[in-house]
Structure 1
Amino acid sequence: MKLNQSKIILILIGALLIGLLGGYGGVKLAQNQGDSSSSGITDTDTSGSGDTDDDLPADLHKISQTFDLIKSNYIEDVEDNELVEGAIEGMLSKLEDPHTSYLDSEMMQQFNEQIESSFEGIGAEVSEVDGYITIISPMKDSPAEKAGLRPNDQVLSVDGESVEGLNVNEAVAKIRGEKGTDVVLEIQRSGVSDPFEVTIQRDTIPVETVYSEINSEDGKDTGVIQITNFSEHTNEEFTEQLADLEDQGIDGLVIDVRGNPGGLLDVAEDILKQFVPKDMPYLQIEDSDGNKEEFASDLDEEKGYPISVLIDEGSASASEIVAVAMKELGYDIVGDTSYGKGTVQQAIPLGDDSSIKMTTYKWLSPNGVWIDGDGVEPTIEQKQDDYYYSIPIQVTDDEPLTYDHTSEAVANMQVMLSGLGYETDRTDGYFSEETESAVEEFQKDNDLDVTGEVNEETGGLIETQTIEKIRSGEDDKQLERSLEELYQ
């Protein structure tokens, strides 16, 4: 007897469930932000599955009934694939895991582009945190970084449309777009009362992930390697640049994973294999049954020079794998407590260019610590200057910031001006005479009309110069502290 349409769909959904719950051999295939390779999914033979819906388990029978009821009775036509995708998304939503999601073919293509080559967008890693679409970290030199987005910024709307109720993939689809087009994000920042808008021009985001230089101070040549993402070619870039630094005779090394949202698990492993000797694991993986497996390198001994690692609240996932392993090996970790993502996802293909990105394992530190939700605490805590944490100045020409006013916007402007070297005498939000003088001095230095008031032009330039100073690393207190402590 021929299987009816709903039965065929139910078999497909059932096969999906069996595949997902059946486990996958080989932790080495697991990747921190996903793996487009197959991990144990096989074609399912339905020829002997029976002829009626009654053969199905009761719960799946309800899905079949619902499908038939919609197709037979709903007032409008609904595509079969929309119902199937809705069923899948509904099941995944019950897991209440922001890192598990359904990726249709378009989302899967975007996902692979971000790992492998380049993509068009604003260049920021986002996730769902406590029900909010949240910036985990802007990428180095990206439009998001240049616009001043920061880790933990919550995205409330995109181009005036609320993202409430959207999953991460749906929100990302709205944020991304063609190079040269603008997107307006409404942002809520921790510690700031009112949301603010940021207009960002999308661009091509190259997946260039490793940057290095030598810092020469106090008779010491210190190699500084920044890793911005753990992507397909990151280990090759890192290994090549580290070898170049060592050939130049560095006395010590700083590994900078601040603002690094993570990436591929095996890439983080390959980097750790160059530092963590074989007498301790560099990582542990725990499955859903609580079984743990340790992974170790074949390295005989540690490097012969001191090392420290820089982290901040934007360091997540694979960055934390590196940081906590180096911490437990005895190296200093400098900066702020990291994000706290201790799970591993796999992208499991469904056979039609779509996939499910699912949390399949926990990762643990070499000593078996699970940092999920807590992050990696630095051994040396170091904050940046206040202006690093400022927000865009929200002001209009009709309502400029002026003398004798008090507001949060004035306080934010005072912090920025102070960071740029203009003495405002206070940062409490009262627009004093000294603040007015600082504004006038700034306007004079930048060939603006000297009014002492902060309108759109003055506010925009203060903001732009502040972001440029942050990106230049001129007052990078965390790097400075790391260099100071490295040879103690």
Structure 2
Amino acid sequence: MPTLCWAHSNGTARDRMPLSPTLRRRLGAILLPIALLAAPLPVVAANETEDDLPVAEIQAFAEVFERIKRAYVEEVDDATLLHNAMRGMLSELDPHSSYLDAEAYENLRESTQGEFGGVGIEVGKRDGQITVITPIDDTPASRAGLQAQDTILRINDTPTEGMSLQEAVDLMRGDPGTDIRLTIIRQGEDAPRNITLEREVIRTQSVKSDTLAPGYGYLRISQFQARTGDQVVNALNELTDDGPLQGLVLDLRNNPGGVLQAAVDVADAFLDDGRIVYTEGRLADSELSFYANRATTAPDVPLVVLINGGSASAAEIVAGALQDQRRGVVMGTESFGKGSVQQIMPLGENEALKLTTARYFTPSGRSIQAQGIKPDVEVVRGRLEVAQDNGLRVREADLEGHLSGNGKDAESGELNARLRDDYQLGEALNLLKALNVLDERKR
């Protein structure tokens, strides 16, 4: 059985602070299991030592532990120090791996089930700064106008410089009805702005549907939760109650992702064959491949998929699969580029690791990690402004005694206003109509 040595034959141990016998026994009990887990497999050559346990680094860790126990201004218990060490180990791996204490673990379970308390904002880390990935639809964050790529400089009076993602999430969560102030800086703006939000219970319905025009449907997915696949199937069935669709817009803008299986289920609703996504990692059980089946809900509907810089993770899986399979036209702006898979590994009953275990790839083998999905048709966000004429033109409606229309003016005006406010959505509808015109001319 390997034993953990505190002295080191290279001479460096003589310069280190001696450990007390009590602490040596305590750390031995803590670190010996690490030694056992990290012990190399049987060597095949005498000079192969690259997988040996890094005794010097473990000794350095023990000395840091000892110095904190002896000299820190306030007494710190062993459990707190070890939990902090676990947080540090995971936070330095990548922005998405983390240690989840009981509160964070419960928050994660709540968010994947579609109900949690807070302001409704998905955050990540970019260049060391807390950054908005996307505000969730119909939440305080979205109503206040927060946007993807906004950088959060302060949460209330606490600067976010050097703050971990979990610390930022903990600060933003709180009792419904309480206020929180965010100081943000937005790309293209010179000065920060303060935004005050009132926390509320966030209950998210991940799927919404609507009719853009007769025969043209709209399907919005705000995030991928455990029941999103079933909700998409139900929404598609409702949209086709009055007859087959001539076209459908699948809106994945500002969708931060979520459950991998939900993304597979959504893509499968539009595909009747072929691969959807596959993952590659170091462990055998992290290498997975998912395929579409023939029981497809919407196999022949002309499809436009909307994405932007807030479309991440599971949203990119769906967009990439539909793009590679040539099932629809991807429109908008380049997506976020999160192409890694996190696995939740419980530690006992109330704690867990969220650990990056694999990268995922589109059917054609494209890695999305740090690359994103590039749209087939780039359309930037904007608002359609109709130029005003000088009032000299005469139209039919200006003629005295003109015949009235069919009574649908109000409905048409409401739709036109919506499409003017959302230029990308209007262009998606125009593209679907154009595709149908071309299809009819080919017949």
Q: TM-score range by the shorter chain?
A: 0.7 to 0.9
Match of 1:105 in 2: 102
Is 1:238 matched up with 2:236?
no
Alignment match of 1:478 (pick from 424, 428, 432): 424
CA separation of 1:126 and 1:473: change in aligned 2, threshold 3 A:
farther
Is 1:311 matched up with 2:316?
no
Measured in 2, the distance between the counterparts of 1:170 and 1:472 equals 38
Alignment check: 8 A CA contact 1:274 1:299 kept? no
Render the CA deviation track for 1:17-51: whole Å, top value 9, x for unaligned.
769x99xxxxxxxxxxxxxxxxxxxxxxxxxxxxx
More displaced stretch, 255-264 vs 4-13: 4-13
Unaligned residue ranges in structure 2 (runs of 5+): 1-21, 42-52, 389-414, 436-443
Higher relative CO (CA 8 A, sep ≥ 6), structure 1 or 2?
1
Match of 1:371 in 2: 368
Measured in 2, the distance between the counterparts of 1:299 and 1:151 equals 36
Residue type of the alignment partner of 2:329: D
1:74 to partner: Cα distance:
4.5
Residue type of the alignment partner of 2:159: S
Match of 2:28 in 1: 7
Residue type of the alignment partner of 2:77: E
1:351 to partner: Cα distance:
1.6
Match of 2:343 in 1: 346
SS at match of 2:65: helix
Alignment check: 8 A CA contact 1:207 1:231 kept? no
SS at match of 2:208: strand
Residue type of the alignment partner of 1:145: S
Alignment of 1:113-192 (within 5 A): 113-192=110-189
Alignment check: 8 A CA contact 1:133 1:168 kept? yes
Render the CA deviation track for 1:151-208: whole Å, top value 9, x for unaligned.
0000000112201111111011111211111111000100111111111111111021
Residue type of the alignment partner of 1:165: G
1:83 to partner: Cα distance:
0.9
* TM-score (norm: length of structure 1): 0.70
Alignment of 1:203-352 (within 5 A): 203-217=200-214, 221-249=215-243, 250-278=245-273, 280-288=274-282, 293-299=288-294, 303-330=299-326, 331-351=328-348
Render the CA deviation track for 1:84-108: whole Å, top value 9, x for unaligned.
012212222432x111111111111
Residue type of the alignment partner of 2:258: G
Measured in 2, the distance between the counterparts of 1:365 and 1:202 equals 37
Residue type of the alignment partner of 1:164: E
Larger Rg: 2
* TM-score (norm: length of structure 2): 0.77
Measured in 2, the distance between the counterparts of 1:486 and 1:117 equals 32
Measured in 1, the distance between the counterparts of 2:317 and 2:158 equals 36
Measured in 1, the distance between the counterparts of 2:219 and 2:26 equals 57
Alignment check: 8 A CA contact 1:10 1:63 kept? no
Match of 2:198 in 1: 201
Alignment check: 8 A CA contact 1:6 1:68 kept? no
Measured in 2, the distance between the counterparts of 1:18 and 1:275 equals 46
Match of 1:355 in 2: 352
Measured in 1, the distance between the counterparts of 2:112 and 2:38 equals 28
CA separation of 1:247 and 1:152: change in aligned 2, threshold 3 A:
same
1:12 to partner: Cα distance:
5.5
Match of 2:65 in 1: 67
Measured in 1, the distance between the counterparts of 2:141 and 2:419 equals 17
More displaced stretch, 347-356 vs 476-485: 347-356
Task: Report the RMSD for the aligned CA atoms in angstroms.
Answer: 3.0
CA separation of 1:129 and 1:56: change in aligned 2, threshold 3 A:
closer
Render the CA deviation track for 1:378-422: whole Å, top value 9, x for unaligned.
1111122269xxxxxxxxxxxxxxxxxxxxxxxxxxxxxxx7x99
Measured in 2, the distance between the counterparts of 1:323 and 1:56 equals 43
SS at match of 1:4: helix
CA separation of 1:158 and 1:11: change in aligned 2, threshold 3 A:
same
Measured in 2, the distance between the counterparts of 1:75 and 1:224 equals 60
Match of 1:30 in 2: none
Residue type of the alignment partner of 1:83: L
1:71 to partner: Cα distance:
3.0
Alignment check: 8 A CA contact 1:332 1:380 kept? yes
Measured in 2, the distance between the counterparts of 1:273 and 1:214 equals 22
SS at match of 1:374: coil
1:284 to partner: Cα distance:
1.6
More displaced stretch, 81-90 vs 150-159: 81-90
Match of 1:39 in 2: none
SS at match of 1:247: coil
Match of 1:50 in 2: none
1:76 to partner: Cα distance:
3.3
Match of 2:409 in 1: none
Question: Once the two structures are aligned, what percentage of the paired residues are identical?
Answer: 35
CA separation of 1:18 and 1:259: change in aligned 2, threshold 3 A:
farther
Measured in 1, the distance between the counterparts of 2:187 and 2:275 equals 37
1:11 to partner: Cα distance:
4.2
SS at match of 2:240: helix
1:58 to partner: Cα distance:
4.6
CA separation of 1:177 and 1:472: change in aligned 2, threshold 3 A:
farther
Is 1:87 matched up with 2:108?
no
CA separation of 1:167 and 1:92: change in aligned 2, threshold 3 A:
same
Measured in 1, the distance between the counterparts of 2:74 and 2:68 equals 9
Unaligned residue ranges in structure 1 (runs of 5+): 23-54, 388-418, 424-468
